[in-house]
């Protein structure tokens, strides 16, 4: 490659300097996943509080022992394996939706849905704490948007009532379990609003799939609001323990995404063994009630709202001190920093796993009580 031009070098250096000054510069840390919910970092063996492997499935032998086999192309151009369609069919039946579409990540799924379905004549009403992939989908769509206050259905209702006659369609978007705070959305109330006003409802269940609901089908199934949810989305890289994203909904919705969603059309399909893994987890999921119950007991013991528990530090310096203190006690708990969270709301995001032994939970419980 030819050397970068001086103006481009200057631009890169200025942006890096800005990140360093603001405390937002990030570096990769090499980690090694170990048994019993532990991780190897810088030669130390630490209890892993950073992973979304809630049910411990990523360290299991579910799925396939076959060697890695790449799909070598998009699903529309030769990369569509029969087992992928089988997985989608069985997943949709298990979830209780008409149809489903497998994509390469939860990020791709949110991007695909919002950017394909909506445009400048539409309005998206979004909980202000939803994931970055939802915001990026909104930006790509060009749709109008407005935030409603976090977990405030009455604010959402007012926005629907004020705008329903001035746009073509309205979509309400929320996560069911929020990734940074671990709290749950008021899905029953949001479902009532969507039904009352005849507007769309989209729920991202990435942090609920596998953890909540009958057989791990998520909060939508647990609260029995499936009839009001038009678009169901989740990643498969958290409690599912694998890789990929999936959209559930009507047959026409999935047909439209297959034909027009750019993140689907222009991505090489997932490798065969990734799909085989997803199928293996789907088969095992109904039998994991014991793991789900243990996870909720751990959260209750630690005083967390769910299997995700924030430890608030405030500014970046204070939160780094907390992270280092936890590391000295034998826990791997990196800092969540801006722009993921506001500058004065840096935190340790504790992600619990059923793999963490009771004695490590007890030590963490003691530390939390001493703060």
Q: Which of 48, 53, 122, 175 is catalytic?
A: 175
| pLDDT of amino acid 6 | 85
Q: Which of 207, 337, 351, 353 is catalytic?
A: 207
Q: Which of 58, 115, 127, 131 is catalytic?
A: 131
CA 42 vs CA 11, 31, 46, 156, 323: distances in Å: 33, 8, 10, 46, 15
Angle at 274 between CA 251 and CA 94, to 5 degrees: 40
Q: Where in the chain is the domain with CATH 3.90.1150.10?
A: 34-55+291-370
Residue 154 annotated in active site: no
Residue 136 annotated in active site: no
Residue 52 annotated in active site: yes
Residue 181 annotated in active site: no
| pLDDT of amino acid 195 | 97
Q: Where in the chain is the domain with CATH 3.40.640.10?
A: 82-286
Q: Which fold has domain 34-55+291-370?
A: 3.90.1150
Q: Which of 88, 122, 204, 360 is catalytic?
A: 204
Q: Which of 104, 105, 151, 179 is catalytic?
A: 179
* Residues 229, 32: Cα–Cα separation, whole Å: 39
Q: What is the pLDDT along the chain (371 residues), one digit of tens a residue?
A: 777 788 888 888 899 899 888 888 887 788 887 878 898 988 899 999 988 889 988 777 675 555 556 777 888 887 788 889 999 999 999 999 999 999 999 999 999 999 999 999 999 999 999 999 999 999 999 999 999 999 999 999 999 999 999 999 999 999 999 999 999 999 999 999 999 999 999 999 999 999 999 999 999 999 999 999 999 999 999 999 999 999 999 999 999 999 999 999 999 999 888 999 999 999 999 999 999 999 999 999 999 999 999 999 999 999 999 999 999 999 999 999 998 999 899 999 999 999 999 999 999 999 999 98
Residue 238 annotated in active site: yes
**Torsion angle of the four alpha carbons 278, 111, 213, 58, in this order, in degrees rounded to the nearest 10:** 30
Closest CA to 330 of 293, 371, 361: 361
Q: Which fold has domain 82-286?
A: 3.40.640
| pLDDT of amino acid 9 | 85
Q: Return the structure tokens found at 42.
A: 């810088």
User: What is the phi/psi pair of residue 60, to 5°?
Assistant: -95, 180
Q: Which of 108, 238, 307, 337 is catalytic?
A: 238
Q: Which of 48, 50, 51, 52 is catalytic?
A: 52
């Amino acid at each position: 490659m030819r050397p970068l031009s001086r103006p481009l070098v200057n631009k890169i250096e200025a942006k890096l300097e800005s990140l360093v000054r603001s405390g937002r510069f990030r570096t990769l840390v090499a980690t090694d996943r170990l048994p019993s919910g532990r991780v190897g970092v810088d030669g130390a063996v630490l209890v892993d509080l950073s992973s979304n492997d809630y049910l411990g499935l990523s360290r299991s032998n579910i799925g396939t022992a076959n060697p890695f086999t790449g799909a070598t192309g998009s699903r529309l151009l030769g990369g569509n394996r029969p087992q992928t369609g089988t997985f989608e069919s069985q997943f949709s039946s298990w979830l209780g939706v008409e149809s489903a579409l497998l994509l390469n990540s939860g990020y791709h799924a949110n991007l695909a849905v919002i950017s394909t379905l909506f445009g400048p004549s539409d309005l998206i009403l979004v909980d202000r704490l939803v994931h970055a992939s939802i915001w990026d989908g909104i930006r790509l769509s060009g749709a109008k948007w407005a935030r409603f206050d976090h977990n405030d259905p009455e604010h959402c209702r007012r926005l629907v009532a004020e705008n329903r006659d001035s746009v073509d369609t309205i979509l309400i978007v929320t996560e069911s379990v929020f990734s940074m705070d671990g709290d749950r959305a008021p899905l029953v109330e949001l479902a009532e609003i969507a039904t009352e006003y005849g507007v769309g409802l989209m729920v991202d269940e990435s942090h609920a799939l596998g953890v909540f609901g009958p057989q791990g089908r998520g909060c939508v199934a647990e609260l029995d609001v499936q009839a009001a949810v038009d678009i169901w989305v989740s990643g498969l890289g958290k409690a599912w323990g694998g890789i990929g994203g999936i959209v559930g909904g009507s047959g026409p919705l999935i047909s439209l995404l297959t034909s027009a969603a750019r993140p689907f059309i222009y991505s090489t399909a997932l490798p065969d063994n990734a799909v085989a893994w997803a199928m293996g987890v789907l088969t095992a999921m109904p039998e994991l009630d014991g793991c789900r119950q243990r996870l909720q007991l751990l959260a209750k013991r630690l005083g967390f709202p769910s299997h995700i528990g924030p430890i608030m530090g405030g500014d970046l310096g204070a939160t780094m001190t907390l992270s280092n203190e936890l590391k000295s006690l034998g826990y791997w708990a990196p800092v969540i920093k801006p722009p993921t969270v506001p500058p004065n709301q840096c935190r340790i995001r504790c992600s619990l796993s059923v793999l963490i032994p009771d004695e490590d939970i007890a030590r963490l419980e003691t530390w939390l009580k001493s703060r």
